[in-house]
Amino acid sequence: MKVEKAMKCPGSASLFRCVALFAVVMGVSGSASALQPLITDDTGTQGAGSNQLEASYSRDRTRVGGDTERVHTVPLGYTYGLTDSVDIYASVAWSRIRVTGDDASGLGNTVVGTKWRFFENNESGTSLAIKPELAIPVSSSREREGLGTGKTSGSLTFILSQDLPFGSLHFNAGVGRDRFRDSDENPRTDYKRFSLAPVWDVSEQWKLALDVGTESARADGHTVRSKFAEVGAIYSPNKDVDLALGFIRTTDNESPKSTTHTLTGGVTWRF
């Protein structure tokens, strides 16, 4: 992916630096129904007629050779329980991207989606869900600045959650496609994602989590593979409010290799 203003990316290797950086922006501003601060989602839903608001802040710093790329993102998401097993949601994020002297800021794609928990066995503690979502296009100028995709993009994620004696375990497998107005400068990107997150119930108010995963992104005949690991904590002063903090490290297989460190924190309110 080549973004002319905020991300100047000549050549296929640099192209995929931009794919990786764009994935960071999209990842932290993605689904409003994920369990903060995790990237991996669970099968939990709000319940019929219930609401949820999420707000967070993420700061990313990526080192590529001698260059440093920084992204600040503030996502806001709303989720509504359509039925006991179906949620609908919408989210949007404001981002600021600073790459090799260039600076861009503004709103990214508005993401809309649903999560349907289609299987649940209370005796075994196993549940399954699917989560399709669409990213509404941004303007040509915001696409050029690296803030979003100028054509409708989307993803589909399969979710498995399993209750365990120490807490729970969540698994995600997803596919997606990012589409751009300027397909010559920004080739269509297809990606696959897999992740796994054990969550420990330390006490009635505290949860600790580990989240690990991998992504394969392909565009213009070239593939980049990245992997991430996150440690996170969730504090719930009551049943309606969660406070979350996480630290994520992401690396890719490009040469020279890039490493991204992300600090993220947020609040979730259910009502």
CATH number of domain containing 161: 2.40.128.130
Cα–Cα distance for residue pair 39/31, rounded to 1 Å: 9
Answer whether residue 6 is part of any domain. no
Sequence-distant (6+) residues with CB within 8 A of 257 are: 251
d(CA 149, CA 245): 28
- Establish if 219 belongs to a structural domain: yes
Q: Is residue 44 part of a domain?
A: yes
Residues in contact with 56: Cβ distance below 8 Å, sequence separation at least 6, in sequence order: 28, 36, 37, 74, 75, 244, 264, 265, 266, 267
Domain that holds residue 97: 12-270
Tokens found for residue 92:
């949007």
> In the structure encoding, which two tokens stand for residue 195, read together?
């992740």
Distances (CA, A) of 3 to 13, 153, 180: 14, 17, 11
Please name the residue that has the structure tokens 């719930």.
Answer: 236
Examine residue 209 and state whether it is found in any structural domain, yes or no: yes
In this structure, are residues 137 and 109 in contact, taking their beta carbons and an 8 Å threshold?
A: yes
Judge whether 2 lies within some domain.
no
| Structural domain count of the chain | 1
- Gyration radius of the chain's alpha carbons: 18
The reported pLDDT for the residue numbered 28 is: 47
- For the question of whether the overall pTM of this predicted structure is more than 0.85, the answer is yes
Mean pLDDT of residues grouped by 10 in the chain (271 residues)?
36 44 50 79 97 96 81 96 98 89 88 98 97 96 89 97 98 96 86 97 98 93 92 97 97 84 97 97
Residue 100 lies inside a defined structural domain of this protein: yes
Residue 198 has which token pair?
Answer: 């054990």
224: β partners: 217
Tell whether 3 is covered by a domain: no
Q: SS3 helix, strand, coil % of the chain, rounded to 5?
A: 10, 60, 30
Is 1 part of any domain? Answer: no
